[in-house]
Structure 1
Amino acid sequence: MSSDEAPPRLRRLRPDELDAEQRALYEEIVSGPRGNGPFALTDDAGGLHGPFNAMLLRPTLGHALQGLGAAIRYRGALPARCREIAILVVAAVWDSAFERHAHEAAGRAAGLTDEELRALRDGDDDVFSGVFADERERVVAVTTRTLAERHDLTDEEYARAVDVLGADGVFELTAIVGYYATLALQLRVFRVPVPGESGR
């Protein structure tokens, strides 16, 4: 049984169970820009989906982690399509069903096509080259896969990424890869289901 098919290890906390610190973090998550996003943040009882429920366990760290995610998603300079391409490549490398579920919705909202989403789910660098006509998007996809799998870039790979994205773009891309790998790890460890699939 894969981690995505296993029963959740963490009960989803309801808003009425939260202490003051947890409640402040909960409100920060649901009332921020994520609250109007392309995927549901809460279940019918108000419990948080995805990685956000676990963040409530340690609100001090949860505030910092969700704040980094909000900065990446809403205040970064990479275009939305590039950002979602990077996130979906991380989801594919980690085989993270929840990240794929959430960010395929976000990717569609950013203009990614079904063909592009399939390539990000199942493809490799050659497929990326055939699907993404925009050079920046191709470089984001290939560089993200390299970072997520190999955790480094050769001098040649780094030079290519900087040539297309700029050093600041490469910095932002490494932040995306690191953040979503962290979430993928937490989603795996806590056996967080895709909404509607064996969640409690």
Structure 2
Amino acid sequence: MSDIKPRILPLPRAEWTDDAREVFAFWGEPNAWEEGSKTNVMMVMGNHPNLGKAYNVWGKHLLMSNTLPVRFLELIILRVAWRVKSAYEWHNHVGYGLNAGLTLEDIAAIRDYPEGGAWSKQDAIVLHAVDELIDSGTLSDATWETLTTFFDKRQMMDLVFSIGHYVMTSWVLSAMGVEIEGGADPIGFDLKTASGKTPGKTYKPGEAEDWVDTRGY
């Protein structure tokens, strides 16, 4: 479902150091210290452990400790993934979005925004903020003021940083050629999987006992 060409490969086992293993094992994936992570981005980040460890701490806040309600975070990430055409982020966050209460119809409408979708004013301004920040590099006074009727100061900070972080992450994945994991059933922008199965919920690290199994790889 992608013609991406890997440019930085997962760190070869012969080069695994304890620092690299810290990157692999950060998210609590079983046996990752000993066997490496099954997540491609972690294995690629092992090439630069200091960067990988900093990235993990930063990314964990935005993914797991974000002050935004998770539904709005997934609106942001999925819209970013579509706007910058990140097949990797789209594939992973369709399942997270479903777990956050979005439907496949909602996710299609995130992709097609502003067409379709029975969005509330709060939903719509979040999606608009993603587009405005990507397109203009800032938020207008009107957009900021509308957002602040729904979100407090910390949430506003997390909102802007979340948009920027997932744009950056998507650029990194695309530029370095990080592929969707082998064994995964890739979910395309058309919301169809390679196998033809309907996409289902997936869980973030530690969110459920079987969070690793739900990924399908």
| TM-score, structure 1 normalization | 0.80
Q: Which residue number corresponds to residue 24 of structure 1?
A: 22
Q: Which residue number corresponds to residue 39 of structure 1?
A: none
Contact 1:78 1:169 in 2 (8 A): yes
- Deviation at residue 126 of structure 1 after TM alignment: 4.3
Contact 1:98 1:187 in 2 (8 A): yes
Instruction: Check if 1:58 corresponds to 2:48.
Output: yes
Instruction: Check if 1:185 corresponds to 2:183.
Output: no
What is the number of residues matched between the two proteins? 181
Read off the aligned partner of 1:28 and give its amino acid letter. Answer: F
Query: What residue ranges of structure 1 are gaps of 5+ in the alignment?
Result: 37-41
Contact 1:51 1:183 in 2 (8 A): no
- Deviation at residue 25 of structure 1 after TM alignment: 1.8
Q: Write out aligned runs for 1:143-154 (5 A).
A: 143-154=129-140
Q: Report the identity percentage.
A: 24
Instruction: Pick from 3, 7, 10 the counterpart of residue 8 of structure 2.
Output: 10
Cα 1:95–1:86 shift into 2, 3 Å: same
Distance 2:18 2:49 in 1: 10
Q: Deviations over 1:7-37 (max 9, x none)?
A: 21222235664111101221113x1xxx49x
Q: Write out aligned runs for 1:84-95 (5 A).
A: 84-95=74-85
- Deviation at residue 150 of structure 1 after TM alignment: 2.1
Structure ranking higher in helix proportion: 1
Instruction: Check if 1:117 corresponds to 2:107.
Output: yes
Q: Deviations over 1:146-165 (max 9, x none)?
A: 11232211111111111222
Cα 1:143–1:10 shift into 2, 3 Å: same
Distance 1:50 1:139 in 2: 33
Bigger relative contact order (CA 8 A; separation at least 6): 1
Contact 1:50 1:98 in 2 (8 A): no
Distance 1:143 1:15 in 2: 42
Q: Deviations over 1:126-180 (max 9, x none)?
A: 43xx3323x3322222212211232211111111111222332221111111111
